[in-house]
C-alpha cells in the first residue's frame, strides 16, 4: 500500500505544525507570567518587562522574515502557511511592549509621552515601527488580501522597513552592551541579503 503523497505530507505538516507553533509562540508569555508571579524581574520590573516584550516582538518579526528564505532553501512551500501566525504573534508582543511603556512606565501621562517622542530618537523610531505594523496586522486576513489585490503586497513590503526600525530602536536604546542588538542587526542583514537576486556564478550555466 502506497504511503501519503507530497500533498498529504504537506497537509499533515500544516495541520500538526500550526498548534505546535501557536504553543511555542505563547511560551515567552508563559515565562513572563511565571517571572512576574515568582518575583524574578530584578530591581526594575517595569524595565525588565519592557525589554522582554520588545525583544520577543523583534525576534518573532525576524522569524517571520526568515520563512520565505527558508522556503526557498528547502523547497517546502507549506512553510508559508505559518507566516501569518508568526507575524501576528510578533505584533502581539509589540503591542504588549507599547502598552507596558504607556501604562506602567509612563502611567498614561501624555505630556511625558509626547516629550519622549520629541526628545528621545529611539522612542520615536520604535513608535514609528509600531504605527507601520498596525495596518499589516489589520490587513493580514484573506479577505483583505482579496480586497487589496496587488496593493496588499506593496503594503506588506513595509515589513522590511519595520524590521530595520525595530533593530535601530534597540540599538539606540542600549547604552553599554551592544551584543544583543548587533546580533539582531546581523540576522536582519542576512535575511535582507537573502532576498537580493544575486547573479549565479558562471552565468547560470553548468
Instruction: Look at residue 105 and tell me whether its pLDDT is greater than 70.
Output: yes
- What mean pLDDT comes out for the span 83-108? 97
Instruction: Look at residue 11 and tell me whether its pLDDT is greater than 80.
Output: no
Give residue 203's pLDDT. 47
CB atoms within 10 A of CB 125: 20
Percent of the chain with pLDDT over 70: 91
Place of cell 551592544: 178
Contacts of 161 (CB under 8 A, 6+ apart): 132
The angle that helices 179-193 and 158-173 make with each other, rounded to 10 degrees, is 160
What is the C-alpha separation between 14 and 76, in angstroms, rounded? 11
Burial bucket for residue 47 (CB in 10 Å: 0-12, 13-18, 19+): middle
Instruction: Look at residue 205 and tell me whether its pLDDT is greater than 50.
Output: no
What is the C-alpha separation between 54 and 185, in angstroms, rounded? 15
Range name among 75-84, 157-166, 180-189 with the lowest pLDDT average: 75-84
Total number of residues shown for the chain: 206
DSSP string covering 33-69:
HHHHHHT-S-S-HHHHHHHHHHHHHHHHHHHHHHHHH
Looking at per-residue confidence, does 205 or 97 come out higher?
97
Instruction: Look at residue 71 and tell me whether its pLDDT is greater than 80.
Output: yes
What is the C-alpha separation between 188 and 182, in angstroms, rounded? 10
Give residue 78's pLDDT. 87
Instruction: Look at residue 4 and tell me whether its pLDDT is greater than 60.
Output: no
Give residue 3's pLDDT. 46
User: What's the whole-model pTM score?
Assistant: 0.90
What is the C-alpha separation between 163 and 159, in angstroms, rounded? 6
Give residue 74's pLDDT. 87
Mean pLDDT of the chain: 90
Instruction: Look at residue 8 and tell me whether its pLDDT is greater than 90.
Output: no
Q: Are 93 and 57 in contact (CB under 8 A)?
A: yes
Amino acid at each position: 500500500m502506497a504511503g501519503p503523497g507530497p500533498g498529504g505530507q504537506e497537509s499533515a505538516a500544516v495541520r500538526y505544525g500550526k498548534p505546535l507553533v501557536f504553543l511555542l509562540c505563547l511560551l515567552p508569555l508563559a515565562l513572563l507570567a511565571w517571572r512576574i508571579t515568582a518575583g524574578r524581574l530584578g530591581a526594575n520590573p517595569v524595565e525588565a518587562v519592557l525589554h522582554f516584550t520588545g525583544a520577543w516582538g523583534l525576534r518573532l518579526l525576524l522569524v517571520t522574515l526568515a520563512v520565505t528564505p527558508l522556503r526557498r532553501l528547502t523547497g517546502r512551500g507549506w512553510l508559508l502557511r505559518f507566516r501569518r501566525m508568526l507575524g501576528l504573534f510578533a505584533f502581539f508582543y509589540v503591542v504588549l511592549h507599547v502598552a507596558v511603556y504607556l501604562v506602567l512606565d509612563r502611567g498614561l501621562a501624555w505630556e511625558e509621552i509626547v516629550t519622549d517622542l520629541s526628545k528621545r530618537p529611539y522612542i520615536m523610531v520604535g513608535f514609528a515601527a509600531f504605527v507601520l505594523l498596525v495596518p499589516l496586522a489589520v490587513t493580514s486576513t484573506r479577505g483583505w488580501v482579496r480586497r487589496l489585490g496587488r496593493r496588499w503586497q506593496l503594503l506588506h513590503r513595509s515589513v522590511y522597513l519595520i524590521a530595520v526600525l525595530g533593530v535601530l530602536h534597540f540599538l539606540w536604546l542600549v547604552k553599554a552592551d551592544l551584543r544583543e542588538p548587533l546580533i539582531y542587526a546581523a540576522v536582519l542583514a542576512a535575511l535582507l541579503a537573502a532576498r537580493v537576486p544575486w547573479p549565479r556564478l558562471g552565468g547560470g550555466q553548468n
